[in-house]
Amino acid sequence: MVDSPYLVRPGKKFRMKDIKTNDGGQFDGDRDAAEIASKKNLEKLAELQDVLYAQAQHAILVVLQAMDAGGKDGTIDYIFSGVNPQGCQVTSFKVPTTLEKSHDFLWRIHQAVPAKGMIGIFNRSHYESVLVERIHGYAPKSVWKKRYEHINTFEKLLADEGTTIVKIYLHISKEEQAERIQKRLDDPKKNWKFNAGDLDERKLWDDYMEAFEDALTKCSTKDAPWYVIPSDKKWYRNYVISDILLRTLESLDLTYPKPIEDIHKYRVV
């Protein structure tokens, strides 16, 4: 866990209103400076990912959650644009299949956890089970209210076994969401992204905010912290996430494996 003004402090009640969606941090609106800083972070991130992959002693799991049009795809595209594809995997969790629904809610999640040496990115995640299922009544309260503890236990297991977990909520305003959804309607190249169901989910904004606050409060732990990232300004979102991930990798004991014994004696002929 690295420190950040956007860290949800374990054991403390979190409220969405405490973090401004349009925050620009230390850059004070200087987009160019933020983009330069982000680029430097990504270069260092790529270097450390090479060591992570070679050493194969640690795994990184990045969990992304957001409201519709919150920027999950854009975040993945930007932050991981320079890493080695062999050491990175993205899993998008859609509506559970019949097979997945016949198992416990973490069954399909555990199968997608990255192996050591890998960076895994969850586009949506096991948290849908205390968000969508809670709000739409797909699971009764007697079931979903127990899941926070199950999630914490599951994530502690992963952490104890060598997976470093970074959970990111992309925090946008309702007004920003409206603009982004409208662009999907107006731009023919983005029409494919539009889903009429997003408008129905938008009507439940307040319910989602309440559910997210509960999940962030109850499931931000030392082993698996949540970060709530201001995301109205995509350039600032990119900087903050790249900074958090870079410092997370720097906190690990990453070194290249030792070469074979007497490697200096070998010659290519």
List b or e across 135-174, with b for residues whose CB sees 16 or more CB atoms inside 10 angstroms.
eeeebeeeebeebbeebbebbeebbeeebbbbbbbbbbbe
Token pair listed for 114: 């990255």
pLDDT for res 128 = 97
pLDDT at 17: 94
Question: Running along the chain, 269 residues long, what does each successive block of 10 average in pLDDT?
Answer: 96 95 92 97 97 97 97 96 94 95 97 98 97 96 97 98 98 97 94 92 96 98 97 98 98 94 90
Within 10 angstroms of residue 38's Cβ, the number of other Cβ atoms is 21
pTM above threshold 0.75? yes
Q: CATH number of the domain at 16-252, out of 3.30.930.10, 2.60.120.10, 3.30.70.20, 3.40.50.300?
A: 3.40.50.300
What is the distance between the alpha carbons of residues 143 and 187, in angstroms, rounded to a whole number? Answer: 41
Read off the tokens for 206: 């307040």
